[in-house]
Structures are given as C-alpha cells and as structure tokens.
Chain A
Amino acid sequence: MSNNQESWGSRLGLILAMAGNAVGLGNFLRFPVQAIQNGGGAFIIPYLVCFLLMGIPLLWVEWATGRFGGKKGNHSTPFILHELDPGRAIWKYIGVFGIFTNIAVAAYYCYLESWTLNYVWMFIQGSFNGMGQEGVADYFGSYVSLSGSSTAIYFWLLCLFLNTYILSRGLSGGVEKAAKVGMPLLLLFGLYLAYKGITLKAGEFGAILDGTVGLNYLWTPNFDSIWNTKVWLAAAGQIFFTLSVGMGSIQCYAAYVRSKQDIALNAMSAGWMNEFVEVVLGSSILIPIAIGYLGVDRVVELTQSGGLGLGFKTLPYLFTQWGPLIGAIAGICWFGLLFFAGITSSLAMGTPVMAFLRDEFGWKRGPSAWTFGLIVLVLGAPTVFFFNEGVFDEYDYWAGTVSLVVFAFFEVILFAWVFGMDRGWKEINEGADMRIPVFFRWVIQYITPAILFAVLLASIPDILSKIQNPGNAYIVGARILLLALYSGIAYAVYVAYRRRVLNAGQGKVNK
C-alpha cells in the first residue's frame, strides 16, 4: 500500500508551484523570438486564441484528471489514466509518457539550469567585465564544449544536488517553499530588467537605439501573418510548451489537492500568471535590450537559431556596458530569474517520478528523490559530454516536443470521449470557486482535440525526416537511450500493475 501522504501547505503555495512549473526559460528566451518571427504584435492574436481554445481547456483537463486520480491514491499518470478507464490496459502505457517525459526533459533541462547558476556566479565575481563581446560568446562555447575546464560539470552536479535535495524535503517542505521564494524573486528581477529594457536610451552606456525601438519592432503587427498556417502552428506550439501541459507534472501536483478543493480557479490563476510572465516580462527584456545595442538587423540574424544564443552569448556582454555595479546587478537578475524559472520547472519534473515510486513500490520520500537524481545524472551525462554532437537537442526534440503533443492528444481523447464529457465536466466543476462557461465543455470535446490533432499532423513530416536522417552515432545513441528509458518505465508499470492485482487478490488493497 502507498505511503504517499503528501499534501500542499496552502492554496497560494500550490498556485505558485503550478505557475513555477509552467514558467520556464522559454518564457524569456522563446516567446519574444517566436513573436518577432511570426508577425510581431499580430502573433498575439493566434497566441491568445490558442491559449483560450487549447491551453485553458488542457489545464482544466489535467488538473481534473490529477485530482480524480489522487482521490483513488494515484499520483502519477500511468495509474491516473488507468483510473479513468480501468477496463483497458493501454492507458497505463500511454501514461508512461507522463514519467518518461519528465525524466528525459529533466536530464537536459538541469544542465541548462546549471548554466544560469554559473553565469550568476560569473557576475558575482565580475568575470565578464572587460571581456568583450567575442570573449563572452567564446566563454559560452568553451563552457559547453568542456574545453580546458570542468566548471560546467561541477555546476551541473551542484544543480542536480539542489533539485534532488529540495525534492527530498517533500511537497510542502521543499517544492512549495522553493516556489514561494523563487516566484516572487523571479517577478522582482523580471520587473527590474523590464524597466531597464524599456527605459534604455540611445547614447547612454553605449546603446545605439532606445529600448522602445525593440518594443516597437516586437509589437508592430503584421496582420497578413494571421492568415499563415505556420504562424498558427507556432502559436499553438508556444502555448503548449509554455504551460507545461502534456508532461504529466500538472496531474501529479493536482493529485495532491484535497478531494473537494477547487481546481477550476486555481488552474486559471496559475495559467494566467504564466501568461503575465511571458507576455509582459518576456517581451520587455531580451529584445529591447538586444536591439538597443545591436540594432534590428543583427538581432534578427542572431535569433534565427532561437533565443538561447542571444540570452547567453550576447546579453551578458551588453549588461557589462552598464558599468561594474549595475551590470552585475542586471546580470545576477537576468540569470537569477532564469535559474528560478528553471528550478521551479525541474522540481515539477521530479515529483511524478517520486510519486510513482512511492505509490507503487512503497518507497520513502528520500530514497525516491535520490533515485530520481541518480537517473537524471546517468541520463543527463550524454547531454553534458556530447552537447556539441547534438544529444541535448535530440532529447529536447523527442522528449520535450513530440512526446508532449502525443500525450496531450491521447489524454484529452481519454478524458472527453472515454471517461466521458458528462463525468469530466462534473469533475472539473466539483468544488469550483468560479463558474466555467458551458462553451468550454464543447471546446474540450471538439476543438482542443482537433487543434492537437492538427499540431500532431503538421509535425509528422519533420518527425519522419528526423527518423530518416539521424545525423551521427551520438544521436542514434541518444535515441536508443530514450527508447530504453520508455521501455524500462513501461516494464516498471507492468510490474506495479501485477503487484496491484496480486495484492487485490490477497485482499490487501481495496479496489
């Protein structure tokens, strides 16, 4: 029998933890780049429509399935999904995605998180001062290629240790406390940097343009773009990844909500908090500051491959232009907020794994947390040592992109069509502190699955092309590792199910 008796300490703590789960590095590095590449200000139209028709419904579905599973003592997706349709074995194995994705994403995400920690340390030491633009960019290159220094490894291990330690303190004693500290600090740092970005003046501290030029570039609407399917797919993708839906972590957090506690309003509050961080803060830092120093053309060129390079290779140099003190404060704020955004998300990735071990095998909190840490260490090592060979990106593609869409599609079908919309709607509204428009019942049943199906369909050519052109042996190795991980979890689920059946047969479990 499960010894998993965790619970949230407070409602605000739960909302902050859920918002922290959603807010990640993508809010600051991915959203502004997606916006400038997909119609500028006009991007917000498909973006908000997708939030309304796919994001919010998925949040309610995941919160509801999580709380429903939790009522029956299930806190991880294999058995939460099984509980929705106990007659069919397949859902347990689709639910495996909800553990697989969390481990595989944590494997590379913790490494990414450790970069931010290292950059905070670099700013505290003043190491970027006088380095020059190329020097800062070269530092990133040599850091991730591990050339001449093992610093990246030490910071990665430190980050893993921090994550595992916080997880071992439990839900209210670890995760919730981290969110209560991390989220307010993230907002504070973000507001300070947004103020600096917007008030940047040409001619001051080496800036060539006002910060408002960057804002103008980002928000000028190109309304023709909203007729472009590619833009809608980009918006759907952004909403999907920013909310951390399709991962299994929301269901796990919600499984610890009290059985009649509101989920409808909590989900909205956490979801909109993420949108605030993304649309208000995310659009006011990276692009205004970068364009203020480098000009529009150069920034467009640098963002062709995403926002990561701009955030790590360029921004640290630009901060140093503000002088040693203000530059250090800005650098600590920028990488500090990225770190808090990262760690509140990676903690959410550990929780489903721990929940599975505790529910099914009766493990205690500490051993399950350290086991998660060990798995992430082993699986994450190739992303650290073979970063330049594409292993990091490969994990991101299969676990952090494809798996999410596949899992979300199946879970919404299960919820709306197998579990049934009558029961599903009742579950969402149980204990609700807000009245949900009936319109959403129809959206969950028809529109959300249709959008997810379209996203899935649109990604098939890319998936096939990836399969046919693996690139190099390291990438093949990464795929084998991911497949082995999925198979291993599926086997553990099978064993856990057999144990349940056996225990039920012996009268040990009331089913």
Chain B
Amino acid sequence: MSTPALITMLLAQGTVTFFTLYFLLKVLRSPVQPEESENP
C-alpha cells in the first residue's frame, strides 16, 4: 500500500475504532440507573 493510502486508512479507521470503544466503555462503566416508572 502507498504511504498516503495507509496513513489515511489508519487515521480514519483508528479514529472510528477509538470513539466506538470510548463510548461503549463509557456506557458499560456508567452506574446502573435506579428503576423508575417506565414511559407509559
């Protein structure tokens, strides 16, 4: 692969993977919210 293509791919896929894992981990680490009345 050429260097520009490799850099673009790694930057794009790296960014997307980072944010996917970041937000997923943030969800998994969030405290479980207390049970409350459901939306009707």
Contacts and interface: CB of A to CB of B under 8 A. Distances in A.
B40 A73 contact: yes
A216 B1 contact: yes
Contact of A276 (B16, B27, B38): B16
A255 B26 CA distance: 22
Interface of B: 1-2, 4-6, 8-9, 12-13, 15-17, 19-20, 22-24, 26-28, 30, 33, 36-40
Interface residues of A, number: 46
Interface stretch (A133-141, A265-273, A335-343): A265-273
A257 B37 CA distance: 10
A216 B39 contact: no
Contact of A255 (B16, B24, B39): B39
Interface in A220-260: 220-221, 255-260
20 contacts: A4-B40, A5-B38, A12-B28, A41-B12, A42-B8, A48-B12, A71-B39, A212-B1, A219-B8, A258-B36, A258-B39, A261-B33, A262-B30, A262-B33, A269-B23, A272-B22, A275-B16, A275-B20, A280-B17, A283-B13
Contacts of B16: 272, 275-276, 279-280
A433 interface: yes
B33 A258 contact: yes
Contacts of B39: 7, 67, 70-71, 73, 255-259
A276 B17 contact: yes
A269 B24 CA distance: 6
B7 to A, nearest CB: 9
A338 to B, nearest CB: 21
Given A258-B36, A272-B23, A433-B27, A219 B5 contact: yes
A279 B38 CA distance: 36
A368 to B, nearest CB: 17
A215 interface: yes
Interface string A1-36: 010110100011001000000000000000000000
Nearest to B13: A280
Given A44-B12, A215-B5, A280-B13, A269 B26 contact: yes
A260 B5 contact: no
A434 interface: yes
Interface in A58-78: 67, 70-73
B9 A219 contact: yes
A494 B28 CA distance: 43
Interface string A293-327: 00000000000000000000000000000000000
The 6 closest A-B pairs by CB, nearest first: A41-B8, A70-B39, A276-B20, A219-B9, A219-B5, A269-B23
A269 B17 CA distance: 11
A15 B38 contact: no
**Which of A5, A41, A266 has most B Cβ within 10 Å?**
A41
Contacts of B2: 216, 220
Interface SS of chain B: helix
A41 B5 contact: yes
Contact of A268 (B1, B6, B23, B40): B23
B6 A269 contact: no
Contacts of A41: 4-5, 8-9, 12
Interface SS of chain A: helix
**Which of B1, B23, B36 has most A Cβ within 10 Å?**
B23
B30 A433 contact: yes
A11 B19 contact: no
A221 B3 CA distance: 10
A42 B8 CA distance: 8
Contacts of B22: 272
Given A11-B30, A272-B19, 11 more contacts: A2-B40, A41-B4, A70-B39, A221-B5, A221-B8, A255-B39, A258-B37, A265-B27, A273-B24, A276-B16, A433-B26
A48 B18 CA distance: 14
A260 B5 CA distance: 45
Nearest to B12: A44
A193 to B, nearest CB: 15
A218 B20 CA distance: 22
A266 B27 contact: yes
Interface string A388-418: 0000000000000000000000000000000
A216 B5 contact: yes
B1 to A, nearest CB: 4
A220 B4 CA distance: 6
B4 to A, nearest CB: 6
A434 B1 contact: no
**Which of B6, B12, B22, B36 has most A Cβ within 10 Å?**
B12
A181 B27 CA distance: 19
Nearest to B30: A433
A2 B40 CA distance: 8
B19 to A, nearest CB: 5
Contacts of B6: 219
A258 B38 contact: yes
Contacts of A259: 36-39
